């Protein structure tokens, strides 16, 4: 497939990238004065900070998140496709960031911090290798774009939050190093029984064997990674829970704002992917009425790992003050993410979500013990790597032209 961008559009994108790159490259830690000096708490992925006394800690936390941006001069996608994702890959990069955060929590822990001047842990290098822009990296732009073709998205077309969530779910199946269960909760409903069946497939739920189809066929290992020293009898496969949501028509319904803020306060939070129409961001927290986010809209050269497997990683960390936007500017189509390393963490998440529902604001989704009779099961929809319902799902979550009815309590 040959990818060609309209010349005028390409010129505009290049001009925009030059401006954006200059903005990013000229900002440094010393220019953090634009971050609000406020007594209001700063929340970043489940951790609370004081902007007046913990600025260095805030910066360290933000910088330690994996920052995936547009890249250029990588091998052609599909052999003959684009060599840059500038102008169309922002939601794909946001998907990489939210999954990258899950892998960091999985292998390094939420409290891990990046230090560019120190030798990096092997697990960290293995995580980065999973996202390098080449066809054989598990979560590369190549893999996401080509898997998206099966979702009805040609290479070079913009994704919405639901599409990227579905693609990540499929790609995670092949990552036997991390052994994640990526579950995409549809219809604004999280079914506890369904998740426990997926994360503990050796247990019998509802009188039927829940061993996932094709589970015995999974193999492969991450290049440069050591196998995890886990017992075969581990009681829980780590969960990445992605919940595509629509929180309004053309604008976010203000009734959801407090509930959305609460999501960033949960210790299991992976953040939110969304943004503005056709301009995606990875939201990692909030302060006051502003969301804090990482912006993928800067074009950097593709990175090539060294011969010893090490990765030059400075461009994978945002070393400038975090971006902010008013929460009311958020496009209503989002996907919220959560990570539960253990069953206890998932049970704790369920308890906290139920508390949030009683704290005011409109619940963004429903948490139920078992599947309601009106819902179509995942198995019935056959949501496997070859499922065919993506068009229907995509029309609901990613269309800007469809009309939606917002149901209130």
Give the active site residues: 90, 295, 297
Rounded-to-integer distance, Cα 183 and Cα 194, Å: 9
Q: Which of 231, 229, 211, 227 is closest to 219 using CA atoms? A: 227
Contact 281, 94 (CB under 8 A): yes
Q: Please give the Cα distance from 114 to 65 (Å, whole number).
A: 8
Nearest-angstrom CA–CA distance, 178 and 133: 19
CA–CA gap between residue 256 and residue 252 (Å, rounded): 8
CA 273 to each of CA 15, 183, 383: distance values in angstroms, whole numbers, following the listed order: 25, 16, 22
87 dihedral zone (left: phi>0; alpha: psi -120 to 50; beta):
left
DSSP string spanning 85-97? -TTT-HHHHHHHH
- Each as own residue / partner, the long-range contacts of residues 191-195 (CB below 8 Å, 24 or more positions apart, any chain) are 191/368, 191/369, 191/370, 191/371, 191/375, 192/350, 192/367, 192/368, 192/369, 192/370, 193/369, 193/370, 193/371, 194/371, 194/378, 195/239, 195/241, 195/346
Query: For the chain, how many residues are written?
Result: 409
Could you tell me how many helices (H) and strands (E) the chain has, helices first? 11, 13
Nearest 5°: CA angle at 119, between 118 and 122?
140
How many other β-carbons are positioned within 10 Å of the β-carbon of residue 186? 22
Dihedral sign (CA 293, 297, 298, 302): positive
Alpha-carbon span 281 to 294, nearest angstrom:
6
Radius of gyration of the chain (CA): 20
| Nearby residues of 291 by Cβ (< 8 Å), 6 or more positions away | 283, 285, 324, 325, 326, 327, 330
């Amino acid at each position: 497939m040959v990818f060609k961008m309209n010349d005028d559009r390409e010129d505009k994108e290049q001009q925009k990238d030059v401006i954006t790159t200059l903005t990013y490259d000229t900002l440094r830690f010393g220019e953090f004065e634009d971050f609000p000096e406020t007594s209001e708490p700063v929340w970043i992925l489940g951790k609370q900070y004081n902007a007046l006394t913990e600025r260095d800690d805030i910066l360290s936390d933000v910088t330690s998140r994996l920052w995936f941006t547009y890249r250029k001069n990588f091998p052609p996608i599909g052999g003959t496709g684009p060599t840059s994702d500038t102008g169309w890959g922002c939601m794909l990069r946001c998907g990489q960031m939210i999954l990258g955060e899950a892998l960091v929590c999985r292998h390094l822990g939420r409290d891990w911090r990046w230090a560019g001047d120190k030798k990096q842990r092997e697990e960290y290098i293995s995580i980065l290798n999973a996202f390098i822009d080449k066809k054989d990296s598990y979560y590369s732009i190549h893999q996401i774009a080509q898997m998206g073709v099966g979702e009805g998205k040609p290479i070079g077309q913009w994704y919405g939050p639901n599409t990227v969530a579905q693609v990540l779910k499929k790609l995670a199946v092949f990552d036997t190093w991390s052994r994640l269960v990526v579950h995409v909760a549809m219809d604004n409903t999280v079914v506890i029984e369904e998740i426990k069946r997926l994360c503990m497939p050796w247990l019998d739920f509802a009188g039927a064997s829940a061993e996932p189809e094709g589970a015995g066929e999974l193999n492969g290992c991450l290049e440069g990674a050591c196998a995890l020293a886990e017992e075969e009898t581990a009681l829980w496969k780590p969960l990445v829970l992605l919940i595509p949501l629509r929180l309004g028509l053309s604008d976010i319904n203000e009734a959801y704002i407090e509930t959305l803020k609460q999501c960033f306060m949960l210790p299991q939070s992976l953040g939110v992917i969304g943004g503005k129409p056709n301009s995606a961001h990875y939201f990692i927290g909030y302060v006051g009425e502003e969301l804090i986010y990482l912006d993928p809209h800067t074009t950097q050269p593709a990175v090539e790992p060294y011969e010893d497997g090490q990765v030059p990683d400075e461009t994978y960390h945002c070393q400038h003050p975090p971006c902010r936007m008013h929460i009311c500017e958020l496009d209503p189509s989002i996907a919220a993410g959560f990570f539960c390393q253990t069953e206890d963490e998932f049970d704790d998440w369920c308890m906290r979500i139920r508390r949030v529902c009683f704290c005011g604001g409109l619940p963004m989704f429903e948490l139920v013990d078992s599947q309601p009779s009106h819902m179509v099961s995942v198995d019935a929809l056959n949501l496997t790597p070859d499922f065919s319902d993506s068009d229907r799902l995509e029309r609901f979550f990613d269309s800007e032209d469809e009309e939606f009815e917002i149901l209130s309590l």
